[in-house]
């Protein structure tokens, strides 16, 4: 993202919309079982921001506490997965890359929790892989 270009995104039904004022500082593929179950997919793709870089234009996510520290945000109308937040790090917000209006604008650069990767999913990219979270 350069100049006045700002990325936007939202949920499937359009009730929730957000705008980003910066490029993500990280983007990953997550293969953990909680992401697989919450997204209904073999892998989730996430991008990380400082909370000050994310503006909610309309609507608000409903959050589910998937663990003691994790909060997963979704649209209560259409069920779209939108966000992930670690309550121990309130200065950061993680958003689903697929929720962007132009998801091709952000490409993940590494895989995490590959010890939970579906055996039938063949991945041939050259991204770094971490069996658990990134250290």
Q: What is the pLDDT of residue 3?
A: 45
CB 90 within 8 A of CB 69: no
- pLDDT tens by residue, 29-49: 999 999 999 999 999 999 999
Closest CA to 99 of 135, 62, 45: 45
Residue 69 region by backbone torsions, left for phi larger than 0, else alpha for psi between -120 and 50, else beta:
alpha
CB 100 within 8 A of CB 8: yes
- Report how far apart the first and last C-alpha atoms of the chain are (Å, whole number): 27
pTM: 0.93
Q: What is the pLDDT of residue 5?
A: 60
**Alpha carbons 37 and 92: distance in angstroms, whole number:** 23
Q: What is the pLDDT of residue 133?
A: 83
- Name all domains of the chain by residue range, CATH numbers in brackets: 25-129 (2.170.150.70)
E-assigned strand segments in the chain: 7-10, 17-20, 26-30, 44-50, 54-58, 62-65, 70-74, 81-86, 92-96, 110-112, 128-129
CA angle 47, 51, 55 (to 5 degrees): 90
């Amino acid at each position: 993202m350069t100049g006045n270009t700002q990325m936007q995104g939202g949920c499937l039904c359009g009730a929730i919309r957000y705008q980003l004022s910066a490029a993500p500082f990280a983007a990953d593929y997550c293969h953990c079982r909680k992401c697989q179950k919450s997204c209904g997919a073999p892998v989730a793709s996430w991008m990380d921001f400082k909370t000050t870089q994310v503006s909610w234009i309309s609507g608000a996510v409903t959050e589910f506490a998937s663990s003691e520290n994790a909060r997963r945000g979704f649209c209560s109308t259409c069920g779209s997965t939108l966000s992930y937040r670690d309550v121990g790090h309130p200065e950061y917000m993680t958003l689903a890359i697929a929720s962007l209006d132009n998801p091709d604008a952000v490409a993940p650069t590494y895989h995490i929790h590959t010890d939970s990767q579906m055996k039938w999913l063949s991945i041939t990219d050259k991204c770094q892989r971490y069996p658990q979270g990134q250290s």
